[in-house]
Chains A and B, each alone.
Chain A
């Protein structure tokens, strides 16, 4: 009787893994917003995977919103507690004195500890590869990413940026790798995805284009990224109708997600802790996320 009761959850887990083979094996990074986490497989952004972030219209050239979105994601990585999320299939060792023992899992020493800084203190180094050094430290700090954790790698050519990202994904001590490129060959994206899976490091690709023709071509190309996001700017709503610019607002579109449906949300931009939050006018709406397209796009 007791053995059967223990067997049932195991069978459920087994069946879940068969149904959703794309479940992330390195854990997830939740957004903290229920509406977004519900749509993503396993309730968050897959770690150990490649994610692609695009800007919209004029922002494709500057990449400010994409950078802010990426900064929020990476900043939240530092604040992730080391308690294992339910989808992890291996136990996370937390013997470091900083975290203390959280539950029974804390006292287990697992020989298959994942790399990428997990469990050894989340404060790893973030590698940001970009063609022009136009990131501003104070702006990053305002979105939740501590600029002291950044190592900037400046490379004028796309293939050099891809090479630098791959090197970063293979090195120990790196928490996340962010790269800004224009042209992405599908083979290169596959390599990045494999490298990310092997090491458990989250890899973010920001697409920036100066040329409209190149943008139109690249947007339509498929690649191996697990999720594809598009961030667009929305007019802000200052509090109580005061004049001036209020808290920044974004439209976040999940264009493509492996194991999930496309969706879009209107949120307020990442704050100093890196969290986005649903815009106030949407708080009263029903909990279902607003899907603007019911079909999967080819990209």
Chain B
């Protein structure tokens, strides 16, 4: 009924504006909190949470104990609800919402749930209202009635959905759960009898968790590349620390040190009651030989991988990069920043994604993946070309230049509010656009006829040497623009 009518019946009614977005966010947080039972959790509609407890019930001493724990904790948070455990998602959904009132927890024994579902109304099959209304009009009020009917007749009259939902509920059709976050490959959990807040306690717990995880990784001969440490707080919020390593690692001290640096970003609130360490990406990691006298017997690459991890995890993984040469005439594309240990360029490198060079060996097999003047057959320093500057500006900075004849280098230019008088110049070196590549960012001075650049290496009266270029040709309706692209030594 409308709110006005309700208020007329009961003037003292307490009302509050509906906030569907906030409700959805709160439900999401609840689903995230339920991650302490199993990583496969997801919000269900607007008022439910679905959890896949297939492999994790034994950690709690059985399904009944797990459900009891869940209900007790929800009670503490003043969240009332009904819980159902069943073989299939459809059956659990139906039982939780439509089973007899008065029972907060229903656990269906494994096996056929046909008998338990039979007395429930057809709305329990997650059908839309129109279809359910149509079924009722025909006289099919319970799921038991439906399962006796021939399927193709139902499908012809009411659509394929009914058959699908029925099959899903009766475990004839699989219905996977799409979890909220990524599902980890390995997970270890530590629960505390009393919530903890002290940073030293948190650090001790972190070290124990990393030791447990490392034990598992050692048994399997793998190392972790991405780990996530979740702190489940008493008030239901989950704080996370996410780490990535350059090489698969199972060194407990290294991982604990990486976590320790980020521990002060975690706010324990009123207390942390669970800590869950999950490894998302694991890679095979053979046993490493340690050298004599403490010198690592491996290549230098294994020695600086922990350093790269520390730098990357504190400054951001895009902050650490290496330079790689590329075959290109365009100067800003000839040198590309890539992630160490990989040959994929990082997000802010200008230019299209190059193909990996042929014959590339993976990092695990290459003896010194960081070294070598030649990467994928492309060498630094092309011979026969004029020298290149040591500093290159991205994007090139515009200057005001004055020249006498069209092909001449400028005799004077102004850059960064300073005037320079040119005494010597080399050039022009013409670099045209690579028609086989798509154009780069719009900050590029290459629009239409400006795709051609004439580069000059100029020296001013102080002796500083710049790399200027003129974008565009003379004779167009627009005068050509000048830029400084780099500074020589």
Measured between alpha carbons, how far is A278 from B209 in the docked complex, in Å? 61
Asked if residues A136 and B390 are in contact (CB atoms below 8 Å), the reply is yes
Asked if A183 lies at the interface with its beta carbon under 8 angstroms from chain B, I say no
Chain A 158-213 residues near chain B, CB threshold 8 A: 160, 163-164, 167-168, 171-174
Asked if residues B310 and A167 are in contact (CB atoms below 8 Å), the reply is yes
Mask of B472-489 contacts with A, CB within 8 angstroms, 1/0: 000000000000001111
Asked if residues B464 and A233 are in contact (CB atoms below 8 Å), the reply is yes
Chain A residues, Cβ within 8 Å of B148: none
Asked if residues A150 and B489 are in contact (CB atoms below 8 Å), the reply is no
Asked if residues B334 and A138 are in contact (CB atoms below 8 Å), the reply is yes
Interface size on A, residues (CB 8 A): 66
Chain A residues, Cβ within 8 Å of B310: 167
Asked if residues A151 and B340 are in contact (CB atoms below 8 Å), the reply is yes
Chain A 123-151 residues near chain B, CB threshold 8 A: 123-125, 127, 133-143, 146-151
- The one of B296, B306, B335, B371 that contacts A149, using a Cβ cutoff of 8 Å: B371
Measured between alpha carbons, how far is A233 from B340 in the docked complex, in Å? 34
Asked if residues A244 and B486 are in contact (CB atoms below 8 Å), the reply is no
Asked if B59 lies at the interface with its beta carbon under 8 angstroms from chain A, I say no
Q: How far is the CB of A214 from chain B (nearest CB, A)?
A: 16
Q: How far is the CB of B371 from chain A (nearest CB, A)?
A: 6
Mask of B44-55 contacts with A, CB within 8 angstroms, 1/0: 000000000000
Chain A residues, Cβ within 8 Å of B457: 245
Q: How far is the CB of B420 from chain A (nearest CB, A)?
A: 9
Asked if B119 lies at the interface with its beta carbon under 8 angstroms from chain A, I say no
Asked if residues A139 and B295 are in contact (CB atoms below 8 Å), the reply is no
Residue of A nearest to B332 (CB): A136
Mask of B445-467 contacts with A, CB within 8 angstroms, 1/0: 00000000000011101111100
Asked if B3 lies at the interface with its beta carbon under 8 angstroms from chain A, I say no
Mask of A233-272 contacts with B, CB within 8 angstroms, 1/0: 1111010000111101110000000000000000001101
Q: How far is the CB of A158 from chain B (nearest CB, A)?
A: 13
Known A123-B371, A136-B389, A153-B311: A173·B463 in contact at CB below 8 Å: no
Measured between alpha carbons, how far is A215 from B45 in the docked complex, in Å? 61
Chain B residues, Cβ within 8 Å of A270: 489
Chain A residues, Cβ within 8 Å of B488: 64, 139, 248
Chain B residues, Cβ within 8 Å of A65: 489
Asked if residues B380 and A153 are in contact (CB atoms below 8 Å), the reply is no
Asked if residues B323 and A62 are in contact (CB atoms below 8 Å), the reply is no
Asked if A53 lies at the interface with its beta carbon under 8 angstroms from chain B, I say no
Chain B 410-446 residues near chain A, CB threshold 8 A: 416, 418, 423-426
Chain B 350-393 residues near chain A, CB threshold 8 A: 370-375, 380-382, 387-393
Q: How far is the CB of B292 from chain A (nearest CB, A)?
A: 10
Q: How far is the CB of B239 from chain A (nearest CB, A)?
A: 24
Interface pick from B8-16, B221-229, B313-321: B313-321
Known A58-B418, A138-B380, A160-B315: A150·B322 in contact at CB below 8 Å: yes
Asked if residues A142 and B381 are in contact (CB atoms below 8 Å), the reply is yes
Residue of B nearest to A62 (CB): B487
Q: How far is the CB of A156 from chain B (nearest CB, A)?
A: 9
Mask of A49-64 contacts with B, CB within 8 angstroms, 1/0: 0000000011101111
Known A64-B389, A164-B315: A137·B323 in contact at CB below 8 Å: yes
Asked if residues B303 and A134 are in contact (CB atoms below 8 Å), the reply is no
Measured between alpha carbons, how far is A270 from B463 in the docked complex, in Å? 16
Chain B residues, Cβ within 8 Å of A148: 322-324, 370-375, 380
Asked if residues B489 and A58 are in contact (CB atoms below 8 Å), the reply is no
Asked if A71 lies at the interface with its beta carbon under 8 angstroms from chain B, I say yes
Asked if A154 lies at the interface with its beta carbon under 8 angstroms from chain B, I say yes
Chain A residues, Cβ within 8 Å of B163: none
Measured between alpha carbons, how far is A123 from B335 in the docked complex, in Å? 21
Asked if residues A147 and B335 are in contact (CB atoms below 8 Å), the reply is yes
Asked if A35 lies at the interface with its beta carbon under 8 angstroms from chain B, I say no
Asked if B17 lies at the interface with its beta carbon under 8 angstroms from chain A, I say no
Asked if residues A236 and B459 are in contact (CB atoms below 8 Å), the reply is yes
Chain B 121-175 residues near chain A, CB threshold 8 A: none
Asked if residues B462 and A57 are in contact (CB atoms below 8 Å), the reply is yes
Asked if residues B391 and A62 are in contact (CB atoms below 8 Å), the reply is yes
Known A138-B382, A235-B461: A173·B303 in contact at CB below 8 Å: yes
Asked if residues A245 and B463 are in contact (CB atoms below 8 Å), the reply is no
Chain B residues, Cβ within 8 Å of A147: 323, 325, 335, 380
Asked if B337 lies at the interface with its beta carbon under 8 angstroms from chain A, I say yes
Q: How far is the CB of A291 from chain B (nearest CB, A)?
A: 21
Asked if residues B323 and A153 are in contact (CB atoms below 8 Å), the reply is no
Chain B residues, Cβ within 8 Å of A250: 489
Asked if B23 lies at the interface with its beta carbon under 8 angstroms from chain A, I say no
Chain B residues, Cβ within 8 Å of A172: 296, 300, 303-304
Residue of B nearest to A136 (CB): B392
Chain B residues, Cβ within 8 Å of A61: 416
Asked if residues A67 and B390 are in contact (CB atoms below 8 Å), the reply is yes
Residue of B nearest to A140 (CB): B390
Residue of B nearest to A139 (CB): B390
Residue of A nearest to B299 (CB): A173
- The one of B300, B380, B489 that contacts A117, using a Cβ cutoff of 8 Å: B300
Asked if residues B391 and A139 are in contact (CB atoms below 8 Å), the reply is yes
Measured between alpha carbons, how far is A131 from B114 in the docked complex, in Å? 66
Asked if residues B296 and A64 are in contact (CB atoms below 8 Å), the reply is no
Asked if residues B390 and A143 are in contact (CB atoms below 8 Å), the reply is yes
Chain A residues, Cβ within 8 Å of B371: 123, 125, 148-149
Chain B residues, Cβ within 8 Å of A173: 296, 300-301, 303-304
Asked if B308 lies at the interface with its beta carbon under 8 angstroms from chain A, I say yes
Asked if residues A141 and B381 are in contact (CB atoms below 8 Å), the reply is yes
Residue of A nearest to B340 (CB): A151
Measured between alpha carbons, how far is A290 from B83 in the docked complex, in Å? 89
Asked if residues A245 and B458 are in contact (CB atoms below 8 Å), the reply is yes
Counting from the closest, the 4 A-B pairs by CB-CB distance are A68-B489, A139-B390, A173-B303, A173-B300
Which residues on B are within 8 Å of A, measured CB to CB? Answer: 293, 295-296, 300-301, 303-304, 306-308, 310-311, 314-315, 318-325, 331, 334-335, 337, 340, 370-375, 380-382, 387-394, 416, 418, 423-426, 457-459, 461-465, 486-489
Which residues on A are within 8 Å of B, measured CB to CB? Answer: 57-59, 61-65, 67-69, 71, 111, 113, 117, 120, 123-125, 127, 133-143, 146-155, 160, 163-164, 167-168, 171-174, 232-236, 238, 243-246, 248-250, 269-270, 272
A-B contact pairs, 15 of them (CB 8 A): A59-B464, A113-B295, A124-B300, A125-B304, A135-B323, A137-B335, A139-B389, A141-B373, A148-B323, A148-B324, A150-B322, A154-B321, A232-B463, A233-B462, A235-B424
